[in-house]
Chains A and B, each alone.
Chain A
Amino acid sequence: MSTSLSGPGSATQAPGREPIRSGLPRKSRDARNHAPITATGLVVKVVLLGLVAGIAIWAAFPLIEARMWVGLAILGATTAGLCYLYLTRRHIPAKYLVPGTLFLIAFQVFPVLYTASTAFTNFGDGHRGSKDDAIVAIQSSSVKQVAGSTEYALSIATKGDPTAGPLVFLVTDPKTGAVSAGDGEGLRPVDAGSVTVSPGGKVTAAEGYTILNFGQASARSPEITNLVVPTPGGALRSNGLSRAYEGKAIRAYDAGCDCIEDSETGKTWTADAATGSFVAADGERLTQGWKVSVGLENFHRVLTDPNISGPFFGTLIWNFAFAIGSTGLTFLLGIAIALALYSPRMRGTNLYRVLLILPYAMPSFAMLLVWRDMFNTDFGLVNNLFGIGVDWFGETWSARAAVLLVQLWLGYPYMFLVATGALQAIPRELTEATSVDGASPWQSFRAVTLPLLLVALSPLLIASFAYNFNNINAIWFTTEGGPFPADNPTNGATDLLITYTYRLAFGAQGAEFGMAAAVSIFIFAIVATVSAISFRRTRQQEEVYS
Chain B
Amino acid sequence: MRIRTAGVVAVLGLALAASGCGDNSKDEPAAKESPKAASGKLVIWADDKRTAALKPFAEQFGKDNGVTVEVQAVSKDLQTNFVTASQQGSGPDVVVGAHDWIGNLVQNGAIDPVQLAAEQKSSFNETAIKAVTFNGQLYGVPYATENVALIRNTALAPEAPKTIEDLVATGKKLKAEKKASEILCLQSGQNGDAYHVYPLYTSGGGYLFGTTANGDYDPKDLGVGKPESIAAFQKIAKLGEKGDGALKRSITGENSIATFTGKKCAFLVSGPWAIADAKKANIAYDISPVPGFAGGKEAQPFVGVQAFYVAAKGKNKALAQEFVTNYVTKPELAVALYQAEPRPPALTAAFEQVKGTDPDLAKFQEAGKNGQVLPAIPAMAAIWDPFGKAEAAVIGGADPAKTITAAGKTIAGQIK
Question: Contact residues of A with B, CB < 8 Å?
Answer: 61-62, 65-66, 108, 111-112, 114-115, 118, 125-126, 128-129, 133-134, 136-137, 140-145, 151, 213-222, 224-225, 238-243, 245, 247, 285, 287-289, 307, 326-327, 330, 364, 373, 376-380, 391, 393-394, 407-408, 410-411, 414, 460, 462-464, 466-472, 474, 479-480, 482-490, 498, 501-503, 505-511, 513, 516-517, 519-520, 523-524, 527-528, 531
Contact = CB atoms under 8 A, between A and B. Distances in A.
Given A137-B109, A485-B393, 12 more contacts: A125-B378, A128-B109, A240-B322, A378-B251, A463-B3, A464-B6, A472-B14, A498-B15, A509-B385, A520-B15, A520-B18, A524-B15
B316 A221 contact: yes
Interface in B62-88: 65-67, 80, 83, 87
Contacts of A288: 106-109
B158 interface: no
Interface string B313-341: 00111110111111000000000000000
Interface in B1-44: 1-3, 5-16, 18-23, 34-35, 38-42
B384 interface: yes
Interface of B: 1-3, 5-16, 18-23, 34-35, 38-42, 65-67, 80, 83, 87, 89, 103-104, 106-109, 112-115, 117, 135-137, 181-182, 190-191, 248-252, 254-255, 259, 312, 315-319, 321-326, 378, 381-382, 384-386, 388-390, 392-394, 396, 398-399, 402-403, 406-407, 410, 413-414, 416
Contacts of A114: 21
Contacts of A242: 322, 326
A410 B1 contact: yes
Given A225-B317, A489-B389, A247 B104 contact: no
Contact of B66 (A213, A327, A480): A213
B66 A214 contact: yes
B23 to A, nearest CB: 8
A517 B41 CA distance: 37
A238 B326 CA distance: 13
A319 to B, nearest CB: 12
B2 A490 contact: no
A511 B80 contact: yes
B269 to A, nearest CB: 17
B395 to A, nearest CB: 10
A307 B413 contact: yes
B31 to A, nearest CB: 14
B2 A516 contact: no
B67 A61 contact: no
17 contacts: A108-B9, A114-B21, A126-B107, A218-B39, A218-B318, A307-B413, A378-B181, A379-B255, A414-B3, A467-B11, A474-B1, A482-B389, A486-B406, A489-B388, A507-B385, A524-B11, A527-B12
Given A218-B316, A466-B8, A523 B2 contact: no
A523 B182 CA distance: 44
Contact of B319 (A118, A221, A407): A221
Contacts of B317: 221-222, 225
Contact of A378 (B250, B385, B406): B250
Contact of A464 (B3, B8, B396): B3
B115 A239 contact: yes
Nearest to A532: B8
Contacts of A136: 109
A218 B41 CA distance: 8
A436 to B, nearest CB: 37
Contacts of A247: 115
Contacts of A225: 317-318
Contacts of A330: 1
Contacts of A378: 181-182, 248, 250-251
List of 3 A-B pairs having minimum Cβ-Cβ separation, nearest first: A411-B1, A137-B109, A240-B322
A287 B380 CA distance: 13
Contacts of A474: 1
B15 A486 contact: no
Nearest to A64: B35
A520 B19 contact: yes
Contacts of B18: 472, 498, 501-502, 505, 516, 520
B137 to A, nearest CB: 6
A507 B316 CA distance: 32
A311 to B, nearest CB: 12
B18, B83, B114, B259, most chain A CB atoms within 10 A: B18
Nearest to B139: A141
Given A111-B16, A125-B107, A141-B113, A467 B250 contact: no
Nearest to A145: B115
B249 A394 contact: yes
Contacts of B34: 61
A213 B108 contact: no
Contact of B80 (A219, A468, A506): A506
B398 A307 contact: no
A517 B19 contact: yes
A489 B225 CA distance: 14
B318 A111 contact: no
Contacts of A213: 65-66
Contacts of B316: 218, 221
Contact of B385 (A111, A217, A287, A489): A489
A219 B40 contact: yes
Contacts of B9: 108
A470 B11 contact: yes
A477 B289 CA distance: 33
B396 A410 contact: no
